[in-house]
Structure 1
Amino acid sequence: MPTALPFVDLERVPFTAPGSRFVVRRSRGRIEILHVRYEVPIDQCVAARIDCVTDGRIRALGGHLEVDAVRIAILGEEVRVLGPGCRVESADDGAPDVRVAAAPARTVLSGAGARRSELGDSEFVEAADSVVGRWMDRLPAVAGGRTEMARQCWWVLGANTLEIAVPGGAAEQGAPRRRTVVVPSKMGYVALWQWDAYFIAIGLRSGAPELALEQLETAFGACEDGQLPDVVHDGGVLASSRDLPPADRERLEASGSRSGDHGVVPLTKPPLGAWAADRVLEALPADRRRRLMARWFPVLTANQDWWFRVGDSDGDGVPEYAHPYSSGLDDSPIFDGAFPVVTPDLLAYLVVQDEVLARWADDLGDAVPGARRIGESCRARSASTRRALDGLWDPRRQMFEARDAGGPGALPRTIVSLLACFAGGLPDDRMRGLIADIEDEHRFAGAWPLATVSRDERDFEPQTMWRGPVWINTNYLVAEGLERCGHPQRARRLRRATLDLVERAGGPVEYMDPRTGNRPPAAAANFSWSAALYLDLAVREAAEPPR
């Protein structure tokens, strides 16, 4: 029996399958088959359009769709459109990497270079269904009330899985390697983004630990001179503002960012690699955990050093963001001024990364030459970074401030202030200020917490990416921080509210309007880190003792 996917409607939730770049959606009343590519606009990825005689009813079952008498099945890099009553039109200008072979009641689309399946049509559909069925069988256990959304989120993680060609290292003489990754969304994000990979790995660890490790291996394998790039995509990386697509530059400028004023700068993502790896390694047998720690320790210590070497542009020992993309908060209003920008979230991440690496050094001992010495250095640096973080506290505004290079002047109150708690161990007076903001309905609370810009700021835009909407990953990180700072019940309430929010939005979308809990028009559906973190929170909730 194929797996029913009642949430797939081809409009809000497009249809795809594990390991495939093909996506099926309905647009302007027609069904379109896309073949998605990195940094190619969705409308330029249309491989074919289908005219069907239909009353609009669609059923997604495993690896195929039923549209009246027509079936559309996806298996890897091949799609078959089967049945009478429809006409498939090739969109030659949309997806040049797709071959279309039409015959009566049967059209086959295949990615360039992909070997056509020799299966008969019925066997092809059955094989497509079986790929999805095997993935869904690995769904981790959650509490009964969360099961349906957990199924949708687990399907999203499987559906967003595909292979990318990753540049090889020196040993491979640059030859690309194939890596299986879970992309953020096939509708616009067809690559591995560094911090997306961290959150996705955490969500995969309970049901697909090997795939979780693959995300980290891919991200860490692209390290060069300590820098982990922003994006790993087919045949390359995005590691410098020089690599930015023109559309990205235009979008940043339109939102008010002056990131281009600082010249060509490295692009990366926040230093959460050691924290994420530590979480994923928790469930592994001790001997394998130590082997992976030994493998990743040099990469992550080099990355931490990079932040204090290259990321500290003025040499004062305090790393900064030189570009909004390196923060992950692309269009946050804290980046509307001059660069670089010192922020409490970055310093909190660096504190935690040094603490994790120091603990790893203790566990590894003499197994990694110099580990003990490096561990002591990490501890000392973590203490110094804590002092720098405390230096961002503004007693008048009762918040941790972000400060840019433009000189004195209050930057907006945003989620980066709350993320200071991720460091853990904050003094009580600092936590009172943060908790007051977290629980204030005129700031970050309200109907659906946590807004990414305080509601009382003039920059609050509840439907514009990082200028107001709720993001699941920042909620997750603030909840982690609350627990680290000795407020487990508040952390638990925020986690439950976050689970409820994904359900309110109808699925794991990119971000949500904090006033309504709904998905804003520009937010991507089928968003992987929202799915992954929902699953991790739901698994954790199921394991909690009853209150």
Structure 2
Amino acid sequence: MHPKKYFYILVALVITQANFAQEKYKILELSKNNLNYTGNPTEASYKEALAFSDKGAWFAYGLLAPSEVQAGFAGPFLMTQQNGVWLSTSFVSMHLINEQQQEVMDWKKSLVTQTSYNSHLEQKFQDNTLRVEQQLVFLSGHTAIQKTSITNISSKPIVFTPTYYSKIHLTDLQLSVEQNALKIVSTKSNAVGYLQFIKEQSSNIQVTNKGFKATTNKVVLKPNETKEMVISQTFIFPQYNWKTEQEEITNANFATVLDQTKQVKENQLAHLKAQMKPIYQTDPYTIFMSKLVLTLQNNTRIAAEGLQHDGLFPSYHYQGFHGFWAWDSWKHAAAIAHYDAQLAKNQIRALFDFQEPNGFIPDCIFRDTSIETNNYRNTKAPLAAWAVWEIYQQTKDLAFITEMYPKLQKYHAWWYNERDNDQDGICEFGATDGSLIAGKWESGMDNAVRFDHSKMLKNNEKAYSIDQESVDLNAFLYAEKNYLNQMATVLKLSQDQKKWKQESSTLKKQLQIQFWDPKTGWFYDTTLDGTSFIKQMGCEGYLPLWAGVATSKQARAIKNNLMDPNTFNTLVPLPTLAANNPKFKPDNGYWRGPIWLDQSYFGIHGLEKQGFKKESQQLTYKLIHNAEGALNKGMSIRENYHPLSGKGLEAESFSWSAAHYLLLLLNN
């Protein structure tokens, strides 16, 4: 064959293979650079940039800013200690040193691209002599592996020695060399770190007073020749076996790990796309969906120390959220069930691991209780049965229902035993320690206007109630009775079915009468005796719509309020307090006005369930398109949003915001 013809065939083959790879991972390719991981963590407490994590790892990485770029990734950001600290600006930073002890490549001038995917990070450099490509992917929840490919694109051989050195930000670490690996031990964490050279045996690792230096064997690259180097970074907790992990690392093939990871991500995203409502099955929403999944992925942590099952942080990006919260967990699980049923189940189990004999579930739990103590002062609104049923709907896993049903029964009964001060079958939010702040926390709406004049009442030695009966709490309890009834049906527990039906029927009538104000067309909290409204029009008033409590007449009245621009149909709907309330505080008002995605979801999905599909679609469109950066690549999903301007507020990379956005996109 003529050499020229062969060349053209080869080029065509390469292009075809590249196109096939893009087609194979179509959603991944569309969704690249969905979050902006670029930054320059020059100190341990650096908080400006987001970080990429996968497979539940307790550490993460970023991309260095182009002005500060090195041949290494930013980090790692360690969630293994304190409330998240950056170990180094770039712990594994490669330098190519020639025989004159000079750097072969100027990384800042040679940077071509930096790209992030749901599956991995990568960056490329090129000058007149070399092309360098780096990729980082997680092998497991303990280990990330980084590959560097160096290609000589010049016409002459190039000689250099790959050298790695790094300065660390933390003073509490001890570095040592153990069996040709760099070992990292911290006085503030039980997790042990290891840095290993996989393909290229390190000839020398030295611990310096500020970090380490490692020099590998000299490399002679001929023209068009490529050299690959693979390094692993591990941070592993004591309950896991380092020797087993080391074997996994030794046997791992980087290309296989990367391809398998990409395939898993693509399959997850494709599976979710198939579940999306037809109006959202276009690229802008597909890309948005992948950002939501990536947000949840970055917040996922494997079981470690005090946390006995896998689950999700509300946000790794905010230091106070490095734990698992009760109602956050129920909401995460309901969304995750649509693409990772095992993680969803474990998120539920993580909180029920701490269930007390009387049925109580703590508000939040942590890996290391010397940093943050588990909060037993209060629980959170009863949404666990909803989440468990969502998981069953996706899996039809009867064993999981069998496992959870008795635990859910106990939790449900606990509310009536410990949070019904006047024993009238209508419950109140409260606390175990008698403090009003913990009682407000139990509602989840910490500073809501409806609690401005509340007081605490004692039920028994370890149970106190706020002196008002809350409509959202009792609407959730009504919904829970119905979910428990459905579980009893699949478990063929006829007596339980009868009990749940009777209780839900009675409660529904009570809710429709006690909490409903026909003059304003809204549900309100009431005084303990049920005779007076606490007349603050807040998001709690539309929860009965989602729970199925409202009559058709009540539902229409609620719909009218939700679609009114003067109350709830703001630029970003639905605010937690009506916009015409004198106490409405949309900017950093927390639960006194800003948009919380979970509450907006319940309102919009409630409209959909009651047949107001046009209205629910209109509000969903505004919720997605008017929230700052939601549809924009690079910008993260926020804890809450300004209802009038759309500005993102509070914590970045917020899990339940991502979870409820995802649920709005799906058929459910």
Verify: 1:401 aligned to 2:524, yes or no. Answer: yes
Aligned match of 2:499 in 377, 381, 405?
Answer: 377
Aligned match of 2:350 in 203, 215, 218?
Answer: 218
Verify: 1:325 aligned to 2:428, yes or no. Answer: no
Task: Letter of the 1:319 partner, please give it.
Answer: C
Verify: 1:346 aligned to 2:473, yes or no. Answer: yes
Contact 1:20 1:74 in 2 (8 A): no
* Deviation readout 1:409-455 (Å, 9 max, x if unpaired): 84532111122212314234433432232111121112111111211
Task: Letter of the 1:144 partner, please give it.
Answer: T
Cross-structure match for 1:157: 296
Output the aligned Cα RMSD.
Answer: 3.8
Q: Which moved more, 1:411-420 or 1:332-341?
A: 332-341
Verify: 1:91 aligned to 2:169, yes or no. Answer: yes
Cross-structure match for 2:415: 307
Contact 1:425 1:485 in 2 (8 A): no
Q: SS where residue 540 of structure 1 aligns?
A: coil
* Deviation readout 1:461-507 (Å, 9 max, x if unpaired): 22423232222211221123224444343334334444445644655
Task: Letter of the 1:180 partner, please give it.
Answer: D
CA distance in 2, matches of 1:411, 1:12: 42
Q: 1:501 to 1:280 in 2, by over 3 A?
A: farther
Q: 1:151 to 1:112 in 2, by over 3 A?
A: closer
5 Å matches for 1:103-252? 103-104=213-214, 110-111=234-235, 113=237, 115=242, 117=246, 119=249, 123-124=253-254, 127=257, 130-131=260-261, 133-139=263-269, 140-141=272-273, 142=276, 143-145=281-283, 146-165=285-304, 177=308, 179-188=309-318, 189-224=321-356, 225-234=358-367, 243-244=374-375
Task: Letter of the 1:401 partner, please give it.
Answer: Y
Task: Letter of the 2:508 partner, please give it.
Answer: R
Aligned match of 2:88 in 34, 40, 48?
Answer: 48
Q: SS where residue 310 of structure 2 aligns?
A: strand
Give 1 or 2 for the bigger CA radius of gyration.
Answer: 2
* Deviation readout 1:386-407 (Å, 9 max, x if unpaired): 2442312234444222246799
CA distance in 2, matches of 1:386, 1:462: 33
Contact 1:460 1:468 in 2 (8 A): yes
Q: 1:159 to 1:485 in 2, by over 3 A?
A: same
Offset of 1:34 from its aligned partner?
A: 1.6
Contact 2:539 2:575 in 1 (8 A): yes
Task: Letter of the 2:413 partner, please give it.
Answer: D
Structure 2 stretches of 5 or more lacking a match? 1-20, 38-47, 69-73, 94-106, 126-131, 149-161, 173-185, 196-211, 217-230, 431-438, 456-465
CA distance in 1, matches of 2:120, 2:583: 44
Verify: 1:77 aligned to 2:77, yes or no. Answer: no
CA distance in 2, matches of 1:229, 1:206: 26
Q: 1:92 to 1:12 in 2, by over 3 A?
A: closer
Offset of 1:304 from its aligned partner?
A: 1.1
Verify: 1:294 aligned to 2:392, yes or no. Answer: no
CA distance in 2, matches of 1:125, 1:34: 25
Q: Which moved more, 1:458-467 or 1:111-120?
A: 111-120
CA distance in 2, matches of 1:156, 1:473: 15
CA distance in 1, matches of 2:593, 2:62: 29
Q: Which moved more, 1:204-213 or 1:129-138?
A: 129-138
Task: Letter of the 2:648 partner, please give it.
Answer: R
Contact 1:452 1:468 in 2 (8 A): yes
Task: Letter of the 1:111 partner, please give it.
Answer: F
Q: 1:130 to 1:293 in 2, by over 3 A?
A: closer
Contact 2:299 2:313 in 1 (8 A): yes
Verify: 1:462 aligned to 2:596, yes or no. Answer: no
CA distance in 1, matches of 2:163, 2:666: 45
Give TM-score scaled by structure 2 length: 0.65
Q: 1:284 to 1:124 in 2, by over 3 A?
A: closer
Task: Letter of the 2:448 partner, please give it.
Answer: S
Aligned match of 2:508 in 377, 386, 394?
Answer: 386
Q: Which moved more, 1:427-436 or 1:352-361?
A: 427-436
Q: 1:415 to 1:485 in 2, by over 3 A?
A: same
Cross-structure match for 1:260: none
CA distance in 2, matches of 1:431, 1:272: 22
* Deviation readout 1:165-208 (Å, 9 max, x if unpaired): 476xxxxxxxx74x222333222333332222222222223322
Verify: 1:510 aligned to 2:510, yes or no. Answer: no
Q: Which moved more, 1:487-496 or 1:419-428?
A: 487-496
CA distance in 2, matches of 1:125, 1:105: 24
Q: 1:85 to 1:343 in 2, by over 3 A?
A: farther
Q: SS where residue 89 of structure 2 aligns?
A: strand
Cross-structure match for 2:153: none
* Deviation readout 1:137-177 (Å, 9 max, x if unpaired): 2212240241111122222233332212476xxxxxxxx74
CA distance in 1, matches of 2:606, 2:263: 37
Verify: 1:436 aligned to 2:565, yes or no. Answer: no
Cross-structure match for 1:262: none
Offset of 1:408 from its aligned partner?
A: 6.8
* Deviation readout 1:40-87 (Å, 9 max, x if unpaired): 444xx2222239864796322533343756857353334567877996
Verify: 1:362 aligned to 2:482, yes or no. Answer: no
Aligned match of 1:63 in 109, 117, 120?
Answer: 120
Task: Letter of the 1:466 partner, please give it.
Answer: W
Offset of 1:512 from its aligned partner?
A: 1.8
CA distance in 1, matches of 2:549, 2:533: 28
CA distance in 1, matches of 2:533, 2:163: 65
In percent, how many aligned pairs have the same letter? 20
Q: SS where residue 338 of structure 2 aligns?
A: coil
5 Å matches for 1:464-483? 464=588, 465-483=590-608
Cross-structure match for 1:18: 55
Q: 1:15 to 1:243 in 2, by over 3 A?
A: closer
**Larger relative strand fraction:** 2
Offset of 1:221 from its aligned partner?
A: 3.9
CA distance in 1, matches of 2:387, 2:246: 38
Aligned match of 2:35 in 8, 11, 14?
Answer: 8
Cross-structure match for 2:575: 451
CA distance in 2, matches of 1:205, 1:199: 10
Offset of 1:103 from its aligned partner?
A: 2.9
CA distance in 1, matches of 2:108, 2:36: 14
Contact 1:347 1:386 in 2 (8 A): no
Cross-structure match for 2:14: none
Q: 1:497 to 1:237 in 2, by over 3 A?
A: farther
Task: Letter of the 1:275 partner, please give it.
Answer: W
Q: SS where residue 24 of structure 1 aligns?
A: strand
Q: 1:410 to 1:86 in 2, by over 3 A?
A: farther
Contact 1:22 1:74 in 2 (8 A): no
* Deviation readout 1:350-393 (Å, 9 max, x if unpaired): 1111122223323323xxxxx43333332333233324423122
